[in-house]
Structure 1
């Protein structure tokens, strides 16, 4: 048996894949449960940023997901949290009042458009965390708002405001 000496050098591009490293939907619900326990003392909101693309029936390319992951992660503060709630959806738990959440959501939607990926845009659904709500209801509210934002068009931010 021959043992090679010296380093083996492969000329491969460095893998990014940072979007695949984010916590998934089960972790989103667990984080929501933890944050809901302190919702009265520490206001917070859930943002669900959904990528919008021209309907070419192809999944969102990995480079676009990774660029969006880096954008969102770079936009957060130390006590904020990011995960994936769907294949092209990012869940962000954001500390602060609803006006802060709306401002961050608008900034993130504009940031996705500025990434330079052809046809890639975003919409954002926002749900404020309220003590006594189950995590699934908060996620449902944010996802409902994201669906409305996607219908309204790129760059739209819709916050859940309850029934009328």
Structure 2
């Protein structure tokens, strides 16, 4: 890959992932979440973030990574997916890192299938490997339709964005 990127480094279990900073709206402390019935297990519910009702997804569960209880380090990374703000629960969001394009490798061929096409690439850094996520591809079409329905629910409740 040729393009340099700046990414937010997040931690899930013992692994570190990167999300392009252009896909991140904010990083917040975890707040109260309202549970919604009949949602996939990784959809934790919705929350009011400064007047904006957003769906909240546990990224560990979405990526099939061993669950853990939330701590003081747990963060909510707010990203925009198809014009919908979504909160991603992560174990920590510690730093912003510049990654040179020559450090980024495409995902291995064995991982290039529909279930994990949300991997943007793999950054080979001096003392670690950083898995780069493409949040635009993190959710499938059915999930995006569901988020659209949540957005409509928000509008029907008369909740205004800031």
Normalization by structure 2: what TM-score? 0.25
Q: Which has the larger radius of gyration?
A: 1
Structure with more of its chain in helix, by fraction: 1
TM-score, L = length of structure 1? 0.25
Structure with the larger strand share: 2
